[in-house]
Homo-oligomer: A and B are copies of this chain.
């Protein structure tokens, strides 16, 4: 199996002004042809730093990809560094110069003197065509392949697809790889890891790994085999195994959100939904309407932040609020029932709780949330408790009610 390393070049990455999305793009693409990225380096716009990056990256990989530093300004030093690393001179390629001049002419602009540097390539290297002005560079070094790609994502992606991928597919040959993603909600990373046991062992094929973000657990199944069909079968077999082990904890695939899955199911069943929010203050509706096309099933939402709003908009009796408090099972239920009645939808979901940081009491501390789902089959209310501050409490409350609705919809 051939391996790759990535060198990202640019002060704007090291200063945090730009997030390095190029490395993630290259890694994902390389994985699809079974070329794992072993390590990745970010270096500043200085010749010696770039040369050191090339040395480190070429030490333990068969392929090195760099991005950035091919522009026309003084801090673009990748081609100079590459020449130094290869121990050769830069040479002017007339055909590249003509191409760059033509490029500017086609825009009706004069080529700046600074752009001339982009026609220089290390001796013996090959220029790669770019949709922008800067040609990429391919060079060989001690039997390893080096590719210098532009930092502008759209140019980099195109060049990778057109000039790098075919070279690497030839090099990588035989092995095929299939990656599947499953998304889970309702249990922590460690619980899921325990449920999966030896399935998550390191050397296993398919390899199963696990990442957590904002309460969502993503499982990756990475299957390697002699051909695509075989790898696909292996991944599918594991997918079924995970589904039978984790059951309803798995809510979706690939990059699906809970709101997307709920929305798909509502649309499929021709059902509609309304929401009534107190402590989440619009977040639940926002998550639902993040999904393109959500107007098909989402029609009404109320943010009844004050007690008066709960009464006037959703018909929650003022006495109920007075007797049990705005954060109570009774009020959550009355909100959902009121919202469904008023909106005339199939479902209505409500959230009322104490997101904090203030407003908590001993009996009703910060983090206490009641969530309700009302439908023609009646109203279900749950008492939940969340931690980690206002934003997380709000997010977790919204995710939890979406998950309850999901389970009802697929029941």
Is A174 an interface residue, CB under 8 A from the partner?
Answer: no
- Cβ contact within 8 Å between A27 and B16: yes
- Cβ contact within 8 Å between A200 and B308: no
Task: Write the chain B residue with the least CB distance to A293.
Answer: B358
B-side contacts of A15, CB under 8 Å = 27-28, 31, 36-37, 220, 222
Which residue of the partner chain, among B30, B74, B293, B359, contacts A202 with CB atoms under 8 Å?
Answer: B74
Copies in the complex: 2
Is A2 an interface residue, CB under 8 A from the partner?
Answer: no
Is A92 an interface residue, CB under 8 A from the partner?
Answer: no
Count of A interface residues, CB-CB < 8 Å: 111
Cα distance A29–B191 in the bound complex, in angstroms: 34
- Cβ contact within 8 Å between A40 and B17: no
Report A97-129 CB contacts with B as 1/0, cut-off 8 Å: 000000000111000111100000000000000
- Cβ contact within 8 Å between A300 and B306: yes
- Cβ contact within 8 Å between A306 and B301: no
Is A313 an interface residue, CB under 8 A from the partner?
Answer: yes
Is A51 an interface residue, CB under 8 A from the partner?
Answer: no
Q: A190-B114, A191-B112, A285-B281 in contact; A24/B18 too (CB < 8 A)?
A: yes
B-side contacts of A264, CB under 8 Å = none
Is A229 an interface residue, CB under 8 A from the partner?
Answer: no
Task: Write the chain B residue with the least CB distance to A301.
Answer: B303
Is A11 an interface residue, CB under 8 A from the partner?
Answer: yes
Is A410 an interface residue, CB under 8 A from the partner?
Answer: no
Cα distance A194–B109 in the bound complex, in angstroms: 14
- Cβ contact within 8 Å between B300 and A73: no
B-side contacts of A13, CB under 8 Å = 23-24, 27, 40
Return 28 A-B CB contacts under 8 Å, by A number. Answer: A13-B24, A14-B36, A14-B38, A15-B31, A15-B36, A16-B29, A17-B211, A17-B218, A19-B21, A19-B24, A20-B23, A39-B43, A39-B49, A71-B189, A107-B387, A115-B190, A131-B388, A275-B282, A280-B286, A282-B287, A289-B305, A292-B356, A292-B390, A294-B305, A295-B306, A298-B305, A300-B303, A300-B313
Apart from A12-B220, A275-B303, list 15 A-B contacts with CB within 8 A.
Answer: A13-B24, A15-B27, A15-B222, A16-B25, A16-B30, A16-B211, A18-B211, A19-B21, A132-B388, A281-B288, A282-B283, A282-B289, A283-B289, A292-B390, A295-B305
